[in-house]
Amino acid sequence: MSEAALRIEGLKIRYGAIEAVKGIDIEVPEGSVVALLGANGAGKTSTLRTISGLVRAAEGAISYYGRNITNMDAEKIAKLGISQSPEGRQIFGDLTVEENLKVGTFVLKDKNIIQKGFERCYKYFPRLMERKKQMSYTLSGGELQMLAIARALMANPKILLLDEPSLGLAPLVVRDIFAIIKEIKNEGTTVVIVEQNALQTLKIADYGYVLEVGEIHVHGPAVELARDPRLIKAYLGDAS
């Protein structure tokens, strides 16, 4: 088994009196795609935001290659090698595509790494290369999602966190983006993906965790979860 790039133990997240995440354990092997699945309000996004330092853990521990990063500042976590593409994309519409990508390099100093980042992102997303001087507010929904993922990749992360990358996109665009996520993984980046589109996600994931109201309801290899008739009915929708 690969070394754990990320390990979450007994994580609890609270917003005031509300316990959004209730003591979950998650392991992310290096070089894998791990999916966090479940309905709205299950605690998926809260978990991702706590990994990246945007939300504080109430209890539990998060370790990155054995180093405790629980409640570390978000900028320090980014410098260590964890980068997030947020839900809703959060692109700067009044900047060009290229300028948005440059925003993703704020933790880097090496110009060669930054240049390689541009080459890598334009290889994955040739449409962004075509539109690099275009104002970002003019992009389509699919292009904005490509830009959000590419901007996160510009930080040269060891772990890429993706929050609902398929949200609101047409099926053909979703297929393209999931194929690129698989390619990113195949080139060595570990991926943690939060998604409601569970069937598509399990096709590219190695392992999955299904969350329900802040608890892990079931977990296992993605191929097994995709075949589990109870999960298909309860969480994944009609497979047809």
pLDDT tens digits along 193-215: 998 888 889 999 999 999 999 99
Q: Is the pLDDT assigned to residue 143 strictly greater than 80? A: yes
**Which of 62-76, 80-94, 165-179, 215-229 is predicted most confidently?**
62-76
Average pLDDT score over residue span 78-105: 90
Q: Is the pLDDT assigned to residue 1 strictly greater than 70? A: no
State residue 229's pLDDT score: 79
Domain edges within the chain: 1-81+158-170+188-240
| Residues 30-51 pLDDT 10s | 999 999 998 888 999 999 999 9
State residue 105's pLDDT score: 92
Q: Is the pLDDT assigned to residue 228 strictly greater than 50? A: yes
Average pLDDT score over residue span 158-178: 91
State residue 234's pLDDT score: 66
- CA-CA distance, 174 to 204, in Å (whole number)? 12
CATH of domain 1-81+158-170+188-240: 3.40.50.300
> Percentage of residues in the chain with pLDDT exceeding 70?
95
CB-side neighbour CA atoms (13 Å) of 175: 3
- CA-CA distance, 207 to 239, in Å (whole number)? 19
This prediction's pTM: 0.91
Q: Which long-range contacts (CB under 8 A, 24 or more apart) does 137-142 make?
A: 137/93, 137/94, 139/91, 139/97, 141/168, 141/169, 141/173, 142/169, 142/170, 142/173, 142/176, 142/177
Average pLDDT score over residue span 18-30: 96
β-strand partners of 68 = 63
Q: Are 37 and 9 in contact (CB under 8 A)?
A: no
| Residues 54-77 pLDDT 10s | 999 999 999 999 999 999 999 999
